[in-house]
Chains A and B, each alone.
Chain A
């Protein structure tokens, strides 16, 4: 019971002391609050930047673990793409792989107002969007039913979309794909594009097989992708290779490998150096804040010698005085820490900050609890360190001298 009343009493005293000297406390704690906000904000923004980087990598090379399978003939005999596709489909069925599909690259001549232009095209299947975290700024992605449409559907990038005048997708805008036969394609979606990208588009593999010139199809051997659990990836690489090789015969070389960012050391935070710099600056600000707090606490304790003596005369033990003076600093620093964390949350939740740190992020990470806890822990540690010297000084004061002071 004595311990509980001791702790509650000490916190009560500390809070009352902070309330009385609020201006002094406020000024001394501004540095701590700013440093905690910087510390917490940097950790949170780092997590956001990391997520954005991860998503960017995933858009390029698939989500972990994405397996790539390809096959080519070891002889002069041409390998039929349909045979490879059949072997791949068997594997997907056998191992119940949920997300899989063929990916290929092609170039189409598109008729724009003012002239025709080559546009790079990626031939995909509906699962590609899930496997590569494709985000759309307009419209929708492909579905299985799109394969049945007579007019092929395409998803274009922003530059392509702007080139045709950014029409309303609800009006089913079309473009002409030139080649051996002119084909009218319907634009159903738009993906964002960076400033330096050229015009590009996606179209379904099935549609491409229908509209591509036979000369192109002869050599168009797509790659196959599978999104599998990371813990099964190594095992599946061997099984897929074995099964596809078995299905295609000894004259066909089947390569299966994992190429998502996790295997080539991607996923590192590109902002790490900046993050370390800001963390270092936040650490220095925190240290300066702590020094300011020590300085002000020491001066204040010297001014409060008589009060400490009076408190001792009313039964405050040396331990209680030590704890109370320490708690003043800790309570103040923790309050500053909470304010700092709150500022960091405001900063990180700001759409402008989010857009500049992590443009195009799909899965915005929640404010990291560990960052908030780190900020509060740092504030508490600063408070404890800053309170130590004044607390020691307060305990060493002789009661009699203190009352007469």
Chain B
């Protein structure tokens, strides 16, 4: 939960720039929230705050009922690894490593059976996602859609409670993007994880159950019909 969160950065000339202003957002288990906004509206900064990658200048972030300020850096890192899965626009698969090794990567930071059985877990997941025959392929040998499916597998391999997708279809064609979003939605629903999609694509945003618009650092709910209307007119935020 984000409570009156602001994020300000200092510009090189010393002037402060307020990127996010008074953000209030509550996301529960099983939610699917979309946040749309133009470039430079603060989407990525919000994503970083939601993903415990950054701390707010003011306001409070509660994760799992605990204020973020109470967590040490290490505890925040561990909570991120355990409970949050990231999907990036450019996939960010690790170069030089096979699809299987990429999916195993988050499990390297797990403990117990998740750590010791990492190869089996990753293999099973990739097989479930229809990538059984691509497991030992390098990222550059995979198509865009396959790369994003590997990235999704990597994001959910530790069964997170929150999936953060930053422009998940931004690097894909329309059809592949739609397939990837359908897969992501199914996975989030099946696992009960909350899914927050940050996008400038109204078509992708419309797939969510709750919709928000980020404009000049302010977050406001937006009606789904408005989103669909914009999608139909192919106007992007």
A: residues with CB less than 8 A from B are 1-2, 5, 8-9, 12-13, 16, 20-21, 306-307, 310-320, 399-400, 403-404
Residues on the A chain within 8 Å of B44, using CB:
400, 404
User: A403 and B109 in contact (CB under 8 A), knowing A9-B115, A20-B97, A314-B81?
Assistant: no
Docked complex Cα distance between A2 and B96 (Å): 27
* Interface membership of chain B positions 72-91, coded 1 if the CB is closer than 8 angstroms to chain A and 0 otherwise: 01100110111000101000
Quick one: CB contact mask for B90-129 with A, threshold 8 Å, 1 for yes?
0010111100010001101111100110000000000000
Whose C-beta in chain A lies nearest to the C-beta of B95? A307
> A313 and B51: CB pair below 8 A?
yes
| Cα of A319 to Cα of B86 in the assembled complex, Å | 21
- Chain B residues with Cβ below 8 Å from A318 are 73-74, 77
Asked whether any CB of chain A lies closer than 8 Å to the CB of B174, the reply is: no
Q: Is the CB of B82 within 8 A of A16?
A: no
Asked whether, in the complex, the Cβ of B53 is within 8 Å of the Cβ of A317, the reply is no
The residue on B at minimum CB distance from A17 is B96
- Give bound CA distance, A314 to B44, whole Å: 17
**Is the CB–CB distance between A315 and B97 below 8 Å?**
no
Q: In the complex, A316 Cα to B52 Cα: how many Å?
A: 13
Taking A13-B108, A310-B92 as contacts, is the C-beta distance between A317 and B101 under 8 angstroms? no
Q: Is B77's CB under 8 angstroms from A5's CB?
A: no
Enumerate chain B residues within 8 angstroms of A20, measured Cβ to Cβ: 96-97
Report if B154 contacts A (CB, 8 A): yes
CA distance A162 to B88 in the complex (A): 86
Q: In the complex, what residues of B have CB within 8 A of residue A21's CB?
A: 96
Chain B residues whose C-beta falls within 8 Å of the C-beta of A314 in the assembled complex: 80-81, 86, 105-106, 109, 154
Determine the residue in chain B with the shortest Cβ distance to A10: B108
Asked whether, in the complex, the Cβ of B108 is within 8 Å of the Cβ of A12, the reply is yes
The majority secondary structure among interface residues of chain A is helix
Chosen A-B contacts, 21 in total, with CB atoms closer than 8 Å, are A5-B110, A5-B112, A9-B108, A12-B108, A13-B108, A16-B97, A21-B96, A310-B88, A310-B92, A312-B77, A313-B51, A313-B53, A316-B108, A316-B109, A317-B77, A317-B109, A319-B74, A320-B109, A399-B53, A400-B53, A403-B53
CA–CA, A8 and B107, complex, Å:
12
A320 to B73, CA, bound (A): 12
Q: Please provide the 7 A-B residue pairs with the shortest distance between their CB atoms, ordered closest to farther.
A: A315-B81, A315-B109, A20-B96, A314-B106, A317-B77, A9-B108, A5-B115
**Judging by beta carbons under 8 Å apart, are A2 and B73 in contact?**
no
Question: Is B64 in contact with chain A by the CB < 8 A criterion?
Answer: no
- Residues on A with C-beta less than 8 A from B88 are 310, 403
Residues of A within 8 A of B111 (CB): 1-2, 5
Min distance, Cβ A133 to any Cβ of chain B, angstroms: 57
Report A-chain residues with C-beta under 8 Å of the C-beta of B95: 307
Nearest-neighbour CB distance to chain B for A309, whole angstroms, equals: 8
Contact present for A1 and B112 (CB under 8 Å): yes
User: Which of A313, A399, A400, A403 has the most B CB atoms < 10 Å from its CB?
Assistant: A313
Contact B94 A317 (CB under 8 A): no
Given A2-B111, A5-B111, A400-B53, A317 contacting B78 (CB threshold 8 A) = yes
The interface residues of chain B lying within 8 Å CB-to-CB of A8 are 115
Q: Min CB distance, B152 to chain A, in Å?
A: 13
CB distance from A122 to the nearest CB of B (A): 72
Asked if A307 contacts B53 (CB within 8 A), the reply is no
With both beta carbons as reference points, the residue of chain B lying nearest to A399 in the complex is identified as: B53
- Give the distance to chain B from A232, nearest Cβ to Cβ, in Å: 61
Judging by beta carbons under 8 Å apart, are A311 and B74 in contact? Answer: no
Whether B48 is near chain A, meaning CB under 8 Å from some CB there, is: yes
Q: Contact at B94–A307, with CB atoms within 8 Å?
A: yes
The residue of chain A having its C-beta at the shortest distance from the C-beta of B78 within the complex is A315
12 more A-B residue pairs beyond the given contacts A16-B97, A315-B82, A403-B92, with a C-beta to C-beta distance below 8 A: A5-B112, A20-B96, A310-B92, A315-B78, A316-B81, A316-B108, A316-B109, A317-B73, A317-B78, A318-B73, A399-B48, A403-B88
Cα–Cα distance between A5 and B81 once the two chains are bound (Å): 14
Is the C-beta of B234 less than 8 angstroms from some C-beta in chain A? no
Question: Which residues of chain A have C-beta atoms less than 8 A from B154's C-beta?
Answer: 314
Give every chain B residue within 8 A of A319 (Cβ-Cβ): 74
Q: In the docked arrangement, what's the CA distance between A315 and B92, Å?
A: 15
Smallest beta-carbon distance A182→chain B, Å: 88
Q: Are A315 and B80 in contact (CB under 8 A)?
A: yes
Q: Which residue of A lies closest to B82 (CB)?
A: A315
A317 CA / B81 CA spacing, docked (Å): 9
Q: How far is the CA of A13 from the CA of B109 in the complex (A)?
A: 10
- Report the separation of the CA atoms of residues A2 and B116 in the bound assembly, to the nearest whole angstrom: 12
Q: Considering residues B106, B108, B115, which has the most beta carbons from chain A within 10 angstroms of its beta carbon?
A: B108
- On chain B, the residues within 8 Å of A317 by CB distance are 73-74, 77-78, 109
B54 touches A (CB below 8 Å): yes
**Inside 8 A of B86's CB, which chain A residues have their CB?**
313-314
Bound form: Cα–Cα A400–B53 in Å: 7
CA distance A404 to B109 in the complex (A): 22
Closest to B83 in A: A315
